[in-house]
Amino acid sequence: MSDPERPQTLAPIVVEGRNCWRIERANKARMIVDAADYYALLKRLMAGAKERILLIGWDFDPRIPLIPDEQGNGESLGYYLLRLAKDQPKRDIDILRWNFGGLKHLFVPSIVAMILRWKMTRSISFRLDSAHPVGCSHHQKVAVFDDHLAVCGGIDVSSTRWDTRDHIDDDPRRTGPDGNRYMPWHDSTMILSGPIGTALAELGNERWQRATNKPLRDLSGTGENWPDDLQADFNDVDVAISRTSAEYDGREEVRENEQLYLDMIAAARRFIYFENQYFTSGAIAAAIAARLDEDDPPEFVMVMPKTADGWLEQMAMDAARVQLVRSIAKARHGDRLKIYVPHTKGGDPIYVHAKTAIVDDRLLRIGSSNLNNRSMGLDSECDVTIDTALAANKGVEPVIARLRESLMAEHLGVAEKDIAATFEHSGSLIETIESMRGDGRSLELLDLVAPGPLDEFIADNEVLDPTSPDAMFESFTERGLKKSWHRGRHWMKRHRPFRRNKG
């Protein structure tokens, strides 16, 4: 592997107009891991907003408590928003969620009743967003407060998401609105303040206007409500915003997230650490395989769920993942890709919903995009990235390393300092994990169970995971995993010069 001690001057991976929309300054930024911490913070941020709370998501469940008690009960999100509206009626509370996903709520009387109460509250605007092609979803998870402070990542404000970083077995607080317990859940997001928050507010305003045909009202532009007791991981750094959106109603297709993944894979020298829900993109897999065919390739470590959430997703996503991983294993250094599943102390698998990536401890990316076709060109997505090769970000590599060590320590059930010491000695993420894996709270290698005939057909033809809206209507002979794989291979061949960062 590449020598981490060799002096090197790296070119930025993030480039405006290529793999990101905007690069803006964050006065402060912090990674938030798992929904227990995020929901508690969200409650404070909403209370501290002076003029507007803007919530954009794939799903919202007004029945969930943001801070559950020992039995999983507590003041619901719906009633909390009503209380905020009553306490400060001049503050706007604007909620925008994907329309198709919201249809299931029509069959839950308590949700319908709460939405009607929101509708009757002047300062609360709840809208469903249908401004997308057939078959697409709005998958972004963005919250903006007073157009200055924002949260962007992978955590939905929905049921079955709350959990702590301890992922306690049979935690009664992990009880859904239906009264049933749900599995341990791992996730991540990022809070950011300053001009980057304003940029995310512009993104939210644009989407609101497309969905409702009306813009959000202008704000005074004063104030920033970063909590005084919340320590930032980063201060005065430049952050890139990358998007995915399908071509629709005169808007061009945007595939910045896919391009950034490909550029990250091409530029990596030592490793990429992924936490992701899915791995079904043939183009991404082919790019990894191309790197692993090199003489001295980086390592690729993926922390993922054991199976996808839901029967249909399991048929489509799990089978495709198996086929792609087996194809990558044929590369000369195929053993430098490892996929791990985190488990609780009692041995139950933890569901990984996070979309986090760290390259060589020089780039940190957090967002809503999965490593699947839908996130590359079909669904709306939003990711934020801190690249230390940008001039403003010089010297923050140790912070990114600490955050990676924190994530690995959480999954392995060990101390962060032990992760740091072992990695410093070995220089290998895989060796570090393998030397520290054990029973109970730990990481286990993914068991690549061969898919059945139906699962294989669905995966091969990308039936539930098309690469674009048009692909949904193409014949099976014109699409599929193999075509996506070849697209990734061809991209790597054409862009080999991009991999030669200065140094």
Q: What is the DSSP string of 113-137?
A: HHHHHHHTSTTEEEEEE--S-TT--
The model's confidence at residue 182, banded by pLDDT at 50, 70 and 90, is very high
342: its two tokens = 């985190």
- Predicted pLDDT of residue 452: 57
Nearest to 189 by CA among 149, 147, 232, 155: 155
Burial level of 502, CB count in 10 A (0-12/13-18/19+)? exposed
Q: What are the tens digits of pLDDT across the range 48-83? A: 999 999 999 999 999 999 999 999 999 999 999 999
End-to-end, the C-alpha distance of the chain in Å comes to 16
- Predicted pLDDT of residue 6: 44
Alpha-carbon span 34 to 15, nearest angstrom: 29
Residue bearing tokens 């590359």: 376
User: The dihedral of CA 354, 211, 80, 197: what is its sign?
Assistant: positive
**Which stretches within 88-192 are classed as H helix?**
99-102, 109-119
**Domains of the chain, first to last:** 22-235 (3.30.870.10), 259-499 (3.30.870.10)
Distances (CA, A) of 419 to 274, 359, 388, 403, 415: 17, 17, 22, 11, 7
Give the DSSP H/E element, type plus range, for residue 55. strand 52-57
- Predicted pLDDT of residue 503: 38
Q: What are the tens digits of pLDDT across the range 87-112? A: 999 999 999 999 876 677 778 899 99
The model's confidence at residue 195, banded by pLDDT at 50, 70 and 90, is very high
Whether 2 shows a pLDDT value over 50: the answer reads no
Q: Report the residue count for the chain.
A: 503
Burial level of 136, CB count in 10 A (0-12/13-18/19+)? buried
396: its two tokens = 């923050």
- Note whether 314 and 307 are within 8 A (CB): yes
Q: Residue 393 — φ and ψ, nearest 5°? A: -100, 10
Q: What are the tens digits of pLDDT across the range 135-170? A: 889 999 999 999 999 999 999 999 999 999 999 999
List of residues 6+ apart from 439 with CB closer than 8 A: 347
- Residue 239, by phi and psi: left (phi above 0), alpha (psi -120 to 50) or beta? beta
The model's confidence at residue 476, banded by pLDDT at 50, 70 and 90, is very low
The model's confidence at residue 482, banded by pLDDT at 50, 70 and 90, is low
Give the DSSP H/E element, type plus range, for residue 496. helix 496-499
Q: What are the tens digits of pLDDT across the range 365-419? A: 999 999 998 999 999 999 999 999 999 999 999 999 999 999 999 999 999 999 9
Whether 478 shows a pLDDT value over 80: the answer reads no
pTM given for the model: 0.91
List of residues 6+ apart from 2 with CB closer than 8 A: 269, 270, 296, 298
